[in-house]
Chains A and B, each alone.
Chain A
């Protein structure tokens, strides 16, 4: 049984323009211990997806799905509050900016203790020891003295490690990390990503990593899912996706990342146009106005997600598809 199985997830918001779908029918499947990256730019719906799995979408947002199965239990039809109660210790999340995720008025020790108190049932002494063990596990030097430190006394990287410590304190089956390294220096990013990978492996913890940075994806995850304007446009295991991207958007994203010096009048390849706004989505394929391969079929018909041999792509003309004979 898969750890997480989400089918046909739709998240909508009622606005004065009517009902707008930030997420429009996506499926997510995750096995225990597996790691998945959801890649997309602003407006792709990636964060909303993770929030809805966590049960954090409330009025005026509405979550609909055929099912959201977590360890076999269907969360789709329950209220957001019940959703979170069922998930309890099983699911944790870390966010982008660690300095705003930690409460500046409480010490590190107090915040870890709060998490432990809520999810475990042990004495104060045992909790303190566990907090020290957790800080050690996330690579914080001199953990005993750090318990008394305040968030502002620690750097961004340290704070993010504390966040991770809090997140894994209840041994969750699934960790969702929403842009965990975007706000950090690049040498610290490497440390945090490697920490997450190591924790996932040693604790058999599944992970969903949400990012806009394909480079971060390259080293830490098993599978990648690319989102655009609320839909999944491609999904494959990491190596396949990076070696042979099939959707033009994926390929274009990879090409926009500068790599190597330009000669003379050469310029970086760009994806023309902008991500569409939700109340003015293009007809047909949502990416067609920006796609250099678009034809009439793309303009008029909506491509479905085609699943083939463990990868899927939503495109009438996927790139370089090798037909199996």
Chain B
């Protein structure tokens, strides 16, 4: 049994934050995050604001050094800073905002050429071939390569971003809310494209999203983050049909569905209050301030991520099957 493509062990990251002229607080962005991504597997990371998913993306791309924990690629520890460049060649990202992630003053050709120039050693003619082939495979006309980003629609720009990500043949693709900023009908097009390309190139993929319906379509496994900690982690089909963590259950219930069968429960399972500040996380279980099933133990003792019925769960009193709808 070969090692997974990427293993993350107990990753933790915090940032000092100025609270005033003489006070500095600590923002706990990530604590004790562990998971792995296998070859040709897609992991969805689900979280809302403050969950630490952006920080996690930065960690996976080795843009910042973690305060604790480590990353492993096919069993080998990734060292700072020696392995950064090679990791960035293997791991590519698609950003959320298609209007921001493409340099407005550069032609598409130049945007696609940049990673090739830096990471590959092709001749100019080889690069041209690869660029045209890549444009074609994302459904764009190669003779539009000399156009500027503003001449394309949001969906097309996201295709260009995908082309840029895949052009150097990575192993792992990180999609950070890659379809959230697009119209619904365009989202479907882009998701289909990603499914095709992921399959064609044999990629592993990490899909960071807050949209459960995207998770359903794209992911093999899902990791639920809240306040920088893992709440639940397991196979997507299991977690989404039988969530065991109360936060996961609420997320699923809150997901808008237009078929009235899945209508959001208006009062019962709704979360009270706001997401707490990451500067001052709650004691015990970080979710206890909003959990409808909170008990004394939850306020005091932080649940450990343990194996529970085939998945990992951090909850003292998981959702029992009797309670599920």
List residues of chain A with CB under 8 Å of any chain B CB.
41-42, 141, 155-158, 185-191, 194, 197, 212-219, 239, 242-243, 252-254, 256-262, 267-271, 274-275
A243 and B275 CA atoms in complex are apart in Å by 35
A213 touches B256 (CB 8 A): yes
Taking a contact as CB atoms under 8 Å apart, the answer to whether B266 and A194 are in contact is yes
Chain A positions within 8 Å of B275 at CB level:
155, 185, 188
The majority secondary structure among interface residues of chain A is: helix
| Complex-state Cα separation, A275 to B153, whole angstroms | 10
B192→A258 contact, CB < 8 A:
no
Q: Which residue of B lies closest to A239 (CB)?
A: B260
Q: Which of the candidate stretches B92-100, B127-135, B179-187 sits at the interface with the other chain?
A: B179-187
| A191-B185 in contact given A186-B251, A213-B256 (Cβ < 8 Å) | no
> Contact: A258 with B263, CB < 8 Å?
no
The residues of B that contact A217 with a CB separation of less than 8 Å are 258
Chain B 163-189 residues near chain A, CB threshold 8 A: 183-189
Asked if B185 and A194 sit within 8 Å, CB to CB, the answer is: no
Contact B189 A186 (CB under 8 A): no
Q: How far is the CA of A322 from the CA of B174 in the complex (A)?
A: 47
Are A262 and B256 in contact (CB-based, < 8 A)?
A: no
Cα-based distance from A274 to B155 in the complex (angstroms): 9
Q: For the complex, is B213 an interface residue (Cβ under 8 Å from A)?
A: yes
CB atoms of B264 and A219 under 8 A apart: yes
Specify the chain A residue showing the minimal Cβ separation from B267: A194
Cβ-closest chain A residue relative to B290: A187
Alpha-carbon distance A274/B214, docked complex (angstroms): 21
Given known A214-B258, A258-B188, A267-B192, contact A185–B266 (CB-CB < 8 A): no
Contact status B254-A258, CB under 8 Å: no
A-B contacts counted at CB < 8 A amount to: 122
CA distance A239 to B251 in the complex (A): 24
Question: Which chain B residues numbered 144 to 168 have a C-beta less than 8 Å away from chain A?
Answer: 153-155
Binding site for A on B (CB under 8 A): 48-49, 153-155, 183-189, 191-192, 195-196, 210-214, 216-217, 236-237, 250-251, 254-260, 263-264, 266-267, 270-271, 273-275
Known: A156-B49, A218-B256, A218-B257. A256 touches B185 (CB 8 A): yes
CB proximity of A275 to chain B, nearest CB, Å? 8
Q: Of the candidates B186, B260, B266, B271, which one forms a contact with A187 in the assembled complex, judged by CB atoms under 8 Å apart?
A: B271
- Please, how many angstroms separate the alpha-carbon atoms of A215 and B261 in the complex? 12
Contact in complex: B216, A259 (CB < 8 Å): yes
Given A218-B257, A261-B216, A268-B192, answer yes or no on A190-B210 (Cβ-Cβ < 8 Å): no
Q: Are the CB atoms of A242 and B188 closer together than 8 Å? A: no
Task: Check A268 against B260 for contact (C-beta < 8 Å).
Answer: no
Contact partner, B48, options A158, A187, A212, Cβ 8 Å? A187
Shortest CB-to-CB span from A226 to chain B, Å, is 12
Residues of A within 8 A of B211 (CB): 186
Starting from the known contacts A258-B217, A270-B189, 7 additional A-B residue pairs (CB-CB under 8 Å) come to: A155-B49, A187-B271, A194-B266, A242-B258, A258-B216, A261-B217, A261-B236
Q: Which residue of B lies closest to A211 (CB)?
A: B256
B256 in complex: contacting residue of A157, A189, A258, A275, CB < 8 Å = A189
Contact status A215-B185, CB under 8 Å: no
B237 CB contacts on chain A under 8 angstroms: 261
